[in-house]
């Protein structure tokens, strides 16, 4: 698939089959991720590949985070909500948690470290699409909760930036829509600012 075609036709695929994804394809996604641009060559990413029962701790953490906000987590309705949280990571056979590990290099700028990891995630999404896989970048506020950092043994300054749910597509996405670039672009061709 040509790059521009992949960029245009990639869509978030929220519904995927349970069929396992070949390890070599997952490795191709991770390899693509590491080719993202990164300032001062800090390569500030870290990936956690969750498959099989390896998805269970993420579900438990999502439930723990949800429980904190509940007055009484033991009510039947709340228990049901918590059970649903535990199952969320099982929506795809592979979930890749992407984290930013900002470099200690004094030249490194925090926002750039985060930006580099976001670029790595986009590389992964495009690679998944080009390999015939479906993927969606999922977050939600629990992503940024201290308990999530604890789960992945991250430091305070590190950030979980999202969970990439991956599998073989089990849906046909609607065509994408975007505001034309012209409405998001200012051409500056004279000394006018």
Ligand X SMILES: Cc1cc2nc3c(=O)[nH]c(=O)nc-3n(C[C@H](O)[C@H](O)[C@H](O)COP(=O)(O)O)c2cc1C
Of 179 and 186, nearer to ligand X (C-beta) is 179
Q: Is 176 in the site for ligand X (CB under 6 A)?
A: yes
Q: How far apart are CA 83 and CA 86, in angstroms?
A: 5
Among residue numbers 146 through 175, which ones bind ligand X (CB under 6 A)?
162
| Part in contact with ligand X (CB under 6 A); list of ranges 6-14, 25-33, 61-69, 109-117 | 6-14
The binder of ligand X chosen from 140, 150, 157, 171 (CB under 6 A): 140
Strand partners, 46: 99
Longest dimension (CA), the chain: 66
Residue 5 φ/ψ, nearest 5 degrees: -65, -45
Q: Is residue 139 near ligand X by the rule CB under 6 A?
A: yes
Alpha-carbon distance values, 79 to 34, 50, 67, 68, 70 (Å): 40, 24, 9, 13, 10
- Comparing CB distances to ligand X, the nearer of 79 and 143 is 143
Give dist(CA 88, CA 185) in Å, integer. Answer: 38
Query: Does residue 115 bind ligand X (CB under 6 A)?
Result: no
Element (H, E) at 162: strand 159-167
What mask, x for binding ligand X by CB under 6 A, covers residues 37 to 66?
------------------------------
Shortest Å distance, C-beta 75 to ligand X: 26
State the minimum distance, in angstroms, from the CB of residue 58 to ligand X.
Answer: 14
Q: Choose one: 10-18, 30-38, 75-83, 104-112; the region binding ligand X (CB under 6 A).
A: 10-18
Secondary structure (H, E, C), 40-97: HHCCCEEEEEEEHHHHHHHHHHHHHHHHHCCCCCCCHHHHHHHHHHHHHHHHCCEEEE
Provide the binding-site residues for ligand X, judged by CB under 6 A.
Answer: 11-12, 14, 136-140, 162, 176
């Amino acid at each position: 698939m040509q790059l521009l075609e992949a960029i245009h036709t990639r869509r978030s695929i929220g519904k995927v089959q349970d069929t396992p994804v070949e390890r070599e394809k997952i490795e191709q996604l991770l390899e693509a991720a590491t080719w993202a641009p990164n300032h001062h060559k800090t390569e500030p990413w870290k990936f956690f590949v969750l498959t099989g029962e390896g998805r269970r701790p993420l579900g438990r953490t999502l439930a723990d985070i949800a429980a904190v906000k509940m007055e009484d987590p033991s009510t039947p309705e709340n228990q049901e909500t918590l059970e649903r949280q535990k199952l969320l990571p099982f929506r795809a056979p592979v979930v890749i948690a992407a984290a930013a590990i900002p470099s200690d290099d004094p030249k490194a700028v925090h926002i750039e470290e985060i930006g580099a990891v976001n670029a790595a995630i986009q590389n992964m999404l495009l690679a998944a699409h080009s390999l015939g896989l479906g993927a969606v970048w999922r977050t939600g506020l629990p992503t940024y909760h201290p308990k999530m950092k604890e789960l992945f043994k991250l430091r305070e300054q590190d950030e979980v930036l999202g969970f990439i749910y991956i599998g073989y597509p089990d849906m046909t996405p609607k065509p994408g829509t975007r505001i034309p670039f012209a409405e998001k672009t200012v051409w500056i061709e004279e000394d006018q600012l």
